[in-house]
Copies of this chain bind each other. A is one copy, B any other.
């Protein structure tokens, strides 16, 4: 197998059968040693973070499979901390799709003149470009179409899938007495150009609270599987 990409939190290998192997790392995003799911730099390394993220990802991707949501997931090996997935082509140079249930983070920084901190949002969806140099700018449906990144039809699919997937995560959390504030998803196209969920679903890609207390990724995994 051949290393094709070394990302912030995962290494990507191409397998001989055409599948792709993702090796989850113990690096998590953040700044100055503090975890921040919205950051685009690696902030710190936590022993076991990779395995914890993979365990949640495996759990949610298998749940989504049961609901016939298209994903890149094939299987996962918790001991090796790897996940086998279908090859995917990302949209443009990569997009992040965010679903928000509470006004926090960058939503509040931009729209604080119109929203209280923590205000309830109605599964609000927005897209950002993966572009470290330009601080992952938000991009509108019309701009995505203008720049030939997504058609309007693809945008509608992406938004619908995002709300459907986020609701699966939100309701699982709610059963454990936890509240999902927001979650960041990634999508790509399979070789037949169908849109599917890619990357991971883990504590590192969402903000979850228990009452007023933020739950860090590895603690989240423990509560979820307790």
Chain B residues near A141: list those with CB within 8 A: 140-141
B121 touches A146 (CB 8 A): yes
B111 touches A129 (CB 8 A): yes
Query: Range of interface residues on chain A?
Result: 20 to 34
CB distance from A118 to the nearest CB of B (A): 15
Stretch of A40-48, A130-138, A206-214 that contacts chain B: A130-138
Q: Does A173 contact B (CB under 8 A)?
A: no
Q: A140-B126, A140-B140, A141-B141 are in contact. Are A134 and B146 (CB under 8 A)?
A: no
A122 touches B93 (CB 8 A): no
B142 touches A129 (CB 8 A): no
Q: A113-B93, A114-B149, A137-B110 are in contact. Are A143 and B131 (CB under 8 A)?
A: no
CB distance from A17 to the nearest CB of B (A): 33
B124 touches A110 (CB 8 A): no
Chain B residues near A142: list those with CB within 8 A: 124-126
B113 touches A129 (CB 8 A): yes
Q: Tell me which residues from 134 to 190 in chain A have a Cβ below 8 Å from any Cβ of chain B.
A: 134, 137-143, 146-147, 149
Chain B residues near A149: list those with CB within 8 A: 114
Minimum-distance CB pairs A-B, first 9? A110-B137, A114-B147, A140-B140, A124-B146, A113-B131, A93-B113, A126-B140, A121-B146, A110-B134
Binding site for B on A (CB under 8 A): 92-93, 109-115, 121-122, 124-126, 129, 131, 133-134, 137-143, 146-147, 149
